[in-house]
Amino acid sequence: MFDNLTERLQKVFKTLRGQAKLTEEHLDAALGAIREGLLDADVSLPVVDELLAHIRQKSLGTEVTLQLLPDQQVVKIVRDELLELLGQPVRLQFASKPPSVWLLVGLQGSGKTTSTGKLAKWLAEHGHRPVVVSTDVYRPAAREQLAQVAQAIRQPCFAGTGLDKPVAIVRGALREAKLSAYDVILVDTAGRLHIDDQLMEELSQLKQELSPTEILFVADAMTGQDAVRSAGEFHRRLGLTGVLLTKLDGDARGGAALSIRKVTGAPVKFVGVGEKYDALEPFYPDRIVSRILGMGDVLSLIEKVEKTVDQKKAQKLAEKLRKSEFTLEDFRDQIRQIRKMGPLEQVLGMLPKIGPLANMPKNLEIDEKQFKHMEAIINSMTAEERTDHKVIDGSRRKRIARGSGTSVQEVNQLLRQFQEMQRMIKQYGSMKGRMRGMGKLAGLS
Amino acid sequence: MLTLFGKPEPTLLDRLKQSVTKTREQLGARIGPLLAGGRSVDPQLFRELEASLLAADLGVRTTKELLAGLREDAERGNFQDAAQLKEALKKRLADLLRLPEAAPAANGARPQVIFVVGVNGTGKTTTIGKLAWRLKQEGRPTVLCAADTFRAAAIEQLEVWAQRAGVEIVRQKTGADPAAVVYDGLSSAIKGSAEVVIVDTAGRLHTKHNLMAELEKMKRTAAKLVPGAPHEVLLVLDATTGQNGLAQAREFTAHAGVTGIVLTKLDGTAKGGIVVAIARELGLPVRYVGTGEQADDLVPFDAPTFVNSLFD
């Protein structure tokens, strides 16, 4: 969907091959491409222009080395520049005397309440005793939402029943934390616009009251150019200590991370990557830089595979493969897991378009329907047929085709594919067996 | 709407004035001498215009295309000064946004079914509350259908809005099959004499395959009960959204057949320019604009006012 930066630069530098140095002219064209790439990734305009000035200085006069092509060289300079801006991961701040207070602030809909739940779970898993409290007395059912979240993650929530002033609520939470020996209070605040003077003032008051050790700005990864203004204003008023970037499980490039870091200096401390409460991760600057530059995100792909694949099922499958007992049922599991990873185009999109993948068609259309049909065919079989495909004769094939809304040809094709796979697995299994035998001979196992 | 009686409803212009004043006062946003009359057309002017459009989230491609067209006209000597060029740019923008208004109510279906969809946190539930309030003012019996059975307290939130607006709500438990809630909601609307049913759906990222399939299922359920339903599918888009908004619009249109956009949170400093890119590529009209948290903070979209606000 997006042109990646390497591709853009390759075009720019086509004419450069064979020259000893990057010239100003080439550089201008390259910087233009970089600028568009960063803007497409939602990095704010003033931040882009400042970055470009740096990159220009570093690139000018850079010698074209033999090891790297000029486009790779420039990409490296850009990458390093962005990494430098994002900085290294930073430690979380706790109070010397508990309870520590962490304040979560941000615009409406950035994901504060869900993130509060995720953080509580994360803290509990890291040996803390957190309690959550909502000071959102404005949005309908906001406090109810946090209470339900807390219940789902089995962590305590200070309800503040009968209290309707944020300051009164947090005072109650503070008392409760001391009584029950909670060591971190997570304060979920109402979403607000950075230009809403009254509500921003309310946050300052909460800050004074609580002396939080962390003031985390919860920001949507899909945020566009406005990120510099909203984050800048929150920072000016409150002094942010960190950023929690949410909704990174979508396909947003997340350039806002750079903008926010630039205007606030606050490091990203966590990223939200899903709707489940364990979908919270530490921040890896190199991953987001690859993402912003559209260079493929192999690490995320690996993680996605690991997350989607059911470990238990995978082990069972390995066992079956060893015994060469691969059935149609296992085949269906495989199809399901592939489908669960999401649109295959998106999965392929995570791969860098270099090396053997460089010539992959850009808008590769994969027929997801085919997988759907395959699954339907197997679903239309009886349990007996699934465990032993040999019983599937002509009349059964007709029935299966009718049941799955496909044709006998498609059923035949699936059975052929399955048999082919089974054959390969048998070969693999016996090969492994032989290898093990050889290992024994050599005294290796 | 319904302005025959009582005071006229505030327009987008009134609302934006309120919030823009706020912005100007507090952030001292520069409303520069950009394009004041008499200024000549020069490369610097184009650079400034480009910066304005990019900063409003129109995106590189749309911005380039708009300015290329203007440059051609400028070379032909069509503009006396900067002010004329600015007017031409505004006209191009407004033309992009002024799309043939489908009149959803006019097709006479009863009940008229509206689906409200979008990614997480854009303001779907709040928008529905405001829409319900609007319909109530117009005297049109409305049923809200709480089909966001996933997010914690989403149903409770919609209930509060139903109460505020004084309209009926159909709900099940959290975790229920959303298609089943759609079924209940529509059945109840058919039995009663509701004119409009608004279906609240769970926020979902457009990249989540299974959740997009769930939307399709809900649509099929609706169509079984009311032929032609849903008659309107509104994509709620947060004005702070950047270039990802285009991907959202593409995917939701492909899976849920979006017919219009509600642009929310325009009372902040974000411009919401991504709707221009969306109109250019997908031809989706903006129907309403959200400008706050109160029940009456939803006004019909008005292209010229919106275009002007891009340059403030």
What is the pLDDT at residue B129? 97
Residues of chain B with pLDDT under 70: 1-8, 19-38, 100-107
A67 and A170 housed in the same domain: no
CATH code (residue A392): 1.10.260.30
Contact B265 A108 (CB under 8 A): yes
| Residues of B whose CB is below 8 A from A44 | 55
Is there a single domain that holds both residue A127 and residue A252? yes
A181 vs B: CB within 8 A: no
Q: Decide if B78 touches A, using CB distance below 8 A.
A: no
Q: Which of A86, A108, A138 is the last residue of a domain?
A: A86
**In which domain, by residue range, is A142 found?**
100-294
Question: Which pLDDT does position A370 carry in this prediction?
Answer: 79
Q: Are residues A174 and A72 part of one domain?
A: no
Q: Do B243 and A41 count as a contact with CB atoms less than 8 A apart?
A: yes
**Smallest Cβ distance to B156: which of A141, A194, A230?**
A141
DSSP notation for chain B: ---SSSSPPPPHHHHHHHHHHHHHHHH-----STT-TT----HHHHHHHHHHHHHTT--HHHHHHHHHHHHHHHHTT--SSHHHHHHHHHHHHHHHH------GGGG--SSEEEEEE-STTS-HHHHHHHHHHHHHHTT--EEEEEE--SSTTHHHHHHHHHHHHT-EEE---TTS-HHHHHHHHHHHHHHTT-SEEEEEE----TT-HHHHHHHHHHHHHHHHHSTT--SEEEEEEETTB-THHHHHHHHHHHHH---EEEEE-TTSS---THHHHHHHHH-PPEEEEE-SSSTT-EEE--HHHHHHHHT-
| CATH number of the domain residue A215 falls in | 3.40.50.300
Query: Based on the domain organization, do A139 and A189 belong to the same domain?
Result: yes
Enumerate residues 284 to 343 of chain A having a beta carbon within 8 A of any beta carbon in chain B.
339-340, 342-343
Closest residue in chain B to residue A117, using alpha carbons only: B152
By C-alpha distance, the chain B residue nearest A148 is B152
Which B-chain residues 213-232 have CB contacts (< 8 A) with chain A? none
Report the pLDDT value the prediction gives residue B165, as an integer from 0 to 100.
95
Which CATH number belongs to the domain containing residue A54 in this structure?
A: 1.20.120.140
Same domain, A194 and A263: yes
Spell out a b/e string for A174-193, using b for 16 or more CB atoms within 10 Å of the CB, else e.
bebbeeeebbbbbbbbbbbb
A138 touching chain B per CB within 8 A = yes
For residue B253, count other CB atoms closer than 10 A to its CB. 19
ipTM value: 0.90
Burial class (CB in 10 A: 0-12, 13-18, 19+), B70: buried
Residue A179 is assigned to a structural domain of this protein: yes
Consecutive H or E run containing A195? none
3-class secondary structure, A63: strand
Asked if B120 has any chain A CB less than 8 Å from its own CB, the reply is: yes
**For residue A93, is it within any domain?**
no
Does A277 fall in a domain? yes
Task: Report if residue A321 sits inside a domain.
Answer: yes
**Quick check: B136 and B166 in contact, CB under 8 A?**
yes
Residue A267 lies in a domain: yes
Q: In the numeric block, which tokens belong to residue A237?
A: 């008023």
User: Do residue A45 and residue B51 have CB atoms under 8 angstroms apart?
Assistant: yes
Nearest CA-CA distance, residue B214 and chain A, Å:
14
Is residue A306 assigned to a domain?
Answer: yes
Nearest chain B residue (CA) to A222: B241
Within an 8 Å CB–CB cutoff, is residue B292 touching chain A? no
Phi first, then psi, for residue B234 (nearest 5°) are -95, 125
Domain tally for chain A? Answer: 3
- Is the domain of A105 the same as that of A182? yes
Q: Tell whether B200 is within 8 A of chain A (Cβ).
A: no
Q: Does B10 touch chain A (CB under 8 A)?
A: no
Calculated CA dihedral for residues B13, B19, B22, B27, nearest 10 degrees: -110
Contacts of residue B274 in chain A, CB cutoff 8 Å?
224
Same-domain check for residues A349 and A401: yes
Q: Do residues A43 and A143 both lie within one domain?
A: no
How many pairs of residues across A and B have Cβ atoms under 8 Å apart? Answer: 156
> Which residues lie below 8 Å from residue B115, measured CB to CB, with a gap of 6+?
B199, B201, B215, B218, B219, B222, B230, B232, B233, B234, B256
Among A120, A110, A89, A121, smallest CA distance to A283 is for: A89
In a domain, A159, yes or no: yes
Residues A231 and A313 in one domain: no
Query: A95 lies in a domain?
Result: no
The answer, for B36 touching chain A at a CB cutoff of 8 Å, is no
Q: Answer with the one of A56, A86, A116 that is the final residue of a domain.
A: A86
Looking at residue A417, what is its pLDDT?
Answer: 84
The reply to whether A270 and A345 lie within a common domain is no
Mutate to test the interface with A, among B16, B58, B205, B248 (most CBs of A within 10 A): B205
Give the residue from A275, A294, A313 where a domain finishes: A294
Q: Judge if A205 and A273 occupy the same domain.
A: yes
- Quote the pLDDT of residue A436: 45
A144 touches chain B (CB under 8 A): yes
pLDDT tens for B64-121 read 999 999 999 999 988 989 999 999 999 999 999 987 665 555 467 789 999 999 999 9
With contacts defined as CB-CB under 8 Å, which chain B residues touch A236? Answer: none
What is the per-residue pLDDT for B163? 96
Sheet with A130-134, strands from edge to edge, namely A157-158, A130-134, A184-188, A100-105, A214-220, A242-246, A268-272, A280-282
Pairing of strands B298-300, B286-290: antiparallel
- Residue A411's pLDDT is 92
| Helix or strand holding residue A116 (H, E) | helix A112-125
Supply the pLDDT for residue A444.
Answer: 37
A216 lies in the same domain as A197: yes
pLDDT along chain A (445 residues), means of 10: 61 62 75 91 95 87 59 79 90 94 97 98 96 96 96 96 95 96 97 95 97 98 96 97 95 93 96 92 88 67 62 71 78 78 60 49 59 89 90 92 92 88 70 45 37
Count CB neighbours of A346 within 10 A: 16
